[in-house]
Amino acid sequence: MRMKTLLAGSVLMGLAASFVAPAIAEDSVYIQLPTYRTGPYAGSGIHIANGMSDYLAMINARDGGVNGVKIDFDECETGYDTQKGVECYEQAKAKNTLVFNPWSTGITLQVIPKSSVDKIPVLSMAYGLSAAADGNTFPWVFNPPDTYWDGLSAIIKYIGEQEGGMEGLKGKKIGYIFLDAGYGREPIPLLDNLAQKYGFEVLQYPVAGKEMQNQSSQWLSIRRDRPDYVVMWGWGAMNPTAIKEAVKNRFDMSKFIGVWWAGGDEDARAGGAGAKGYKSVSFNNVGADYPALQDIKKLVVDAGNSHTPADTIGENLYNRGVVNALYMVEAIRTAQEMTGKKVINAEDMRLGLENLKIDEARLEAIGLKGMIAPIEITCSNHSGHHPLFIQEWDGEKWTSATDWFSPLTEEVTPILMQASKDYATSNAPWPTRDDACPAN
């Protein structure tokens, strides 16, 4: 009797599985999230990873996925190590990821040549190779909402405004303290170019990765050189150490401006009361009052399905992780609409990214109105060079120091297009785009 029951049960289970399995396969898409919750850069990486994971989990919990298609996601720990990142890419490829988010300029530079061969879009949100904004040359790489060059030009524009106009930059000294890696070196060609154009002097202060917590030499040099402003391109443990050193050396914090990745809450908090006035350029607002973030709190964090401490929801880097996930979700939605397919593949995802448009109405519907500026990516412009703003640390939290303003797009674009051409030439034979973008 027991044997019969067992057999009958097994047959029924097999039958059920044969019906259920295809249904799961058809109703889900896979995205790998390369993250770094460990290592010297974890201080920045954890918040980003939490934001990304929580948003995707919330979309699954609240909406049942994107138009009913669940997002099956998992994390691959890179430790911000390029070699590990490339291994994650290979794993993601094997599991048919829709998109690859390297979360490291070093990893991005490694996977760019692979992406066009493997036909996997690379979404390097506001990092990576600036020249990749040229969709004609880099059809598989996306860097919205702004490139590093946009970020740098926005900072220089802001400094110019503080000096009474761009002509006020003439004769000024601008220090550039940066992580001595692909990430930190990326804006240097533009910085040199703008220095030549506006007549300011650039003083470089590289910080080696293994010396991130030992920056006294760099800050002594800054103290000796007395730059009028210091711009920082830091990440991970470099940021809080730099801010502490700036405070220690009594540098005027109102003249210390970081890129968006040097704008973590914990980065600034490390400087204590002395960090008040520190600034960073940004493309997202802080705060947890957005309806979508409240849904995350209710459906994901409070439900115990997250690594996120509830009090970090709404912090700068957390919200930025949410923005990255938002881009992916909206690109899936766009691709579904364009292809008519529910379950899309990586090539469809590229189409979705290339036609991504998130306007005010859509942001309101999503529940993130006001967190970011509307964005639009096109076939030829994979970044969009969107408006940015400067935020300021008030001693406890980030506040907006300016309205949204455009970077120096007109000045950056010709240099960026030239850099794109140079990249293709130096990596010849660089694959040409199959479908030419319509002329804008």
Partner 1 sequence: MDMLYNILIDPFVQMVDAPDFLIQVVWEGFVAGVLYALIALGFVLIYKASGVFNFAQGIMVVFAGLSLVGLHQKGVPAWLALILAIGIMAILAVCIEKFVMRPLVGQPDIILLMATIGMTYFLIGLGEVIFGGEPKQMITSELGLPTGSTAFEMGERGLVILQHIDIAAAVIALLMVGGLAVFFNRTRIGRALRAVADDHTAALSVGISLNQIWAIVWFAAGIVALATGIMWGARSDVSFALEIVALKALPVLILGGFTSIPGAIIGGLIIGIGEKVGEIYWGGLVGGGIESWLAYVIALVFLLFRPQGLFGEKIIERI
Q: For binding to partner 1 (CB under 8 A), which residues are involved?
A: 36-40, 42-43, 45-46, 180, 204-214, 216-218, 220-221, 223-224, 236-237, 240-241, 244, 248-250, 266, 269-270
Taking CA atoms, 210 is separated from 3, 10, 37, 202, in Å, by 64, 57, 18, 24
Which tokens hold the place of 159? 């400094």
Q: Write out the DSSP string of 44-74.
A: HHHHHHHHHHHHHHHHHHHHSSBTTBEEEEE
Min CB(312)–partner 1 separation in Å: 10
Nearer to partner 1, 221 or 406 (CB): 221
Q: Least distance (Å) from partner 1 to the CB of residue 248?
A: 6
Q: For the CB of residue 228, give the shortest distance to partner 1 in the complex, in Å.
A: 16
User: Closer CB to partner 1, residue 78 or residue 334?
Assistant: 78
Q: Which residues contact 125 (CB under 8 A, 6 or more apart)?
A: 101, 143, 144, 145, 320, 323, 324, 327
Q: How far is CA 180 from the centre of its chain?
A: 19
Torsion of CA 86, 89, 91, 96, to 10 degrees: -160
Identity of the residue, 114 or 269, whose beta carbon is nearer to partner 1 in the bound complex = 269
- For residue 269, the minimal CB distance to partner 1 (Å) is 8
Pick the closer one to partner 1 by CB: 41 or 229.
41
Q: Which is nearer to partner 1, 215 or 334 (CB)?
A: 215
CB 351 to partner 1: min, Å: 36
Minimum CB separation of residue 107 from partner 1 in Å reads 18
Beta 173-179 vs 201-207: how paired, if at all? parallel
Distance CA 365, CA 239 (A): 35
Could you give phi then psi for residue 346, rounded to 5 degrees?
A: -65, -35
Please list, in sequence order, all residues whose beta carbon lies within 8 angstroms of the beta carbon of residue 408, skipping any fewer than 6 positions away: 153, 154, 156, 157, 194
**Three-class secondary structure of residue 421 per DSSP:** helix
Least distance in angstroms from the C-beta of 243 to partner 1: 10
Q: How far apart are CA 33 and CA 426, in angstroms?
A: 30
119 or 173, CB closer to partner 1? 173
145 vs 184, which CB is nearer to partner 1? 184
> How many helices and strands in the chain, by DSSP H and E?
15, 13
Cα–Cα distance measured from residue 203 to residue 175, given in angstroms and rounded to the nearest whole number: 5
Q: Which is nearer to partner 1, 104 or 241 (CB)?
A: 241
Specify the residue, 121 or 240, whose C-beta has the smaller distance to partner 1.
240
Nearer to partner 1, 144 or 236 (CB): 236
Q: Which is nearer to partner 1, 209 or 287 (CB)?
A: 209
Query: Apex CA 126: angle with CA 29 and CA 129, to 5°?
Result: 100
- DSSP alpha helix (H) spans, 278-359: 291-296, 316-339, 346-354
**Smallest gap from residue 270 Cβ to partner 1 (A):** 6
Q: CB nearer to partner 1: give 133 or 237.
A: 237
**Minimum distance from CB of 46 to partner 1 (Å)?**
6
60's tokens? 């699954």
CB count, 10 Å around CB of 111?
Answer: 27
**Quick one: CA dihedral 155, 101, 347, 426, positive or negative?**
positive
Residue 125 CB, nearest distance to partner 1 (Å)?
21
Tell me how far, at minimum, the Cβ of 47 lies from partner 1, in Å. 9
Minimum CB distance to partner 1, residue 207 (Å):
8
SS3 state of residue 380: coil
- Using alpha carbons, select from 211, 213, 209, 201 the residue that is nearest to residue 175: 201
Neighbours of 376 (CB within 10 A): 14
Crossing angle of helices 82-94 and 105-118, rounded to 10°: 30
